[in-house]
Amino acid sequence: MRRKLTIIALAAMMLAFGEFALAQSPNLQPQVQPKFRIQPRVNKAPVRPPSIPLSVAQQNIQMVMPNAKVLKIGPLPSGDIIATVRIENQVRKIRVDGETGAVQN
């Protein structure tokens, strides 16, 4: 009997005061920020292949720096060639002109 009265009293209170509680609750927006945004496509300049092969650039580096060892070599979008070189105990990046083959320190 006591349980029934408690349930009826709770239901009556919810019916009587439920409208006021719903009227006071603001519409909250979620506070979570998006982790990424969709970026527009950027028109990039076309990649120019280097005029000289990578092996010629490697030979030019060996001529300019005879004690250097070429670890990695690859073309850049500008048409130049970049090489990772080890000289004694230092690792450096050397740029080679893609058209003339000139080593730029």
- Inform me whether the pLDDT recorded for 24 exceeds 80: no
| pLDDT per position as a tens digit, 55-78 | 999 999 999 999 999 999 999 988
**Helices marked H in the chain — which ranges?**
2-24, 54-64
Q: How far apart are CA 19 and CA 37, in angstroms?
A: 40
Angle at 34 between CA 31 and CA 40, to 5 degrees: 145
| pLDDT per position as a tens digit, 79-94 | 899 999 999 999 999 9
Domain range summary for the chain, segments of one domain joined by + = 54-104
In sequence order, which residues have a C-beta less than 8 Å from that of residue 37 and are 6 or more positions away? none
Q: How many residues does the chain have?
A: 105
